[in-house]
Amino acid sequence: MLFKTLFATTACILMTASIAAAQSPEIFVGYSNLQSEGLPDRNDPNWPFNTDFFSNRSTLHGVNGSISAFWEGIGLTGDFSFGRQGHSNDFTGGRDERHTDTFYFLGGPAIKFSQKTRVQPFLRVLAGGAHTSFKVSRQFTGSSGTVTNSFDVGSTDFSAAAGGGLDVRIGDRTKLRVIQVDYAPIFLRDRTIQVLGSNGVIQPSTLEGQRQ
């Protein structure tokens, strides 16, 4: 089956602590900044990071969590992340809201270079799935009460990720993840392109150069 590629780049800059000990699972939770291609609402060209990379993408803010187990530097990682781009507009008597969400659930091998030193770089290659959803709603309060109308659509597709980062030990069982960057494409099916594209969730024309 022919797959399509969406969201060509994911950049996760994560600053938090993870629990770790030799030969014990490492648990991480941190902030995620997802730079996505193919969404209609692109980054503001007037913001500080006005480069070609950011101006052609949309920012989704969220959270990333993972659990990893290593044996002599070789291990397995299970990873989950969530990113949202949301907009709201208040008007007399009501409120409009719309948001696009992306969920990643991935797993795969990882390599950590020297678990015994203070500075610990790592690499990983993951595969799994990603769910992209879009919801728009309007709430209006009038003489007859409050009325809410909403519409949502979504799709789940194969996804993969390749990247790495840098952990710094700051205690016996605590580390600071200074940075983590992953390239995480989502391979859209023809049906997904049709459903999400026809509802304005993605712009298929901007993805032509990245389809497989």
Is the entire prediction scored with pTM above 0.85? no
pLDDT tens track for 161-211: 999 999 998 888 888 899 898 999 888 777 666 666 665 666 555 554 443
**CB count, 10 Å around CB of 23?**
9
Task: Output the pLDDT for position 201.
Answer: 60
**CB count, 10 Å around CB of 211?**
14
Torsion of Cα atoms, 37 then 42 then 48 then 50, to 10°: 60
The percentage of residues in the chain with a pLDDT greater than 70, rounded to a whole number, is 68
Task: Output the pLDDT for position 2.
Answer: 34
